[in-house]
Amino acid sequence: MSEDLHATAERLVLQEHVEGISTEERAWLDQHLESCVDCARLANRTAGALRSLRAVSIPVPAGLADRAQLRAYLRAEQLRERTRDAWTMWVVCGIAWVLGIVSAPVIWRGFEWAGRLAGLPSLVWQAGFVVWWTVPALVAAIVLLQRFGAAGQRERMR
């Protein structure tokens, strides 16, 4: 049970300096620190370390905050643009699918007519129909994979 008390005291000592603790927790911690030398030493060392860190002056280059703010703004714009591009891509793909489904019977009849006119076996003009619909989809998939693959690679390099 005493291990739990010491762990709770350690957590409260650290939490006090980061996010604060309630008055009830502060009262319990004060009472515990009065009776526990090890936890009181930990609290003193933690407070001393934080005072030392606050005393250290680190020179910051002029304009660093402005540059950081500009970079954050540019990154947010880039993400908005990417979202807009992705939305546009999905709309265009949806329209292409609808047009493909609507025009499929007409294209099928066209291939059938051209196959009969040329005297081709049914299997040949049907294969031509499949290629007619498959090749553009494969090309689009390759282009999209390259585009998003390159964008992802650029993100990983940052």
CA 149 to chain centre: 15
pLDDT in tens, 73-118: 999 988 888 788 778 878 887 888 888 888 889 999 999 999 999 9
pLDDT digits (tens, 9 = 90+) for 28-54: 999 999 999 999 999 999 999 988 888
Q: How many domains does the chain have?
A: 2
pLDDT of residue 104: 87
Q: What pTM, to 2 d.p., does this model score? A: 0.40
Final residue belonging to a domain, choices 14, 32, 55: 55
pLDDT of the residue at 17: 84
Does residue 50 sit in the same domain as residue 109?
no
Tokens 């009969």, residue located: 116
Residue 133 is predicted with a pLDDT of: 82
One domain, residues 71 and 142: yes
User: Domain span at residue 152?
Assistant: 66-157
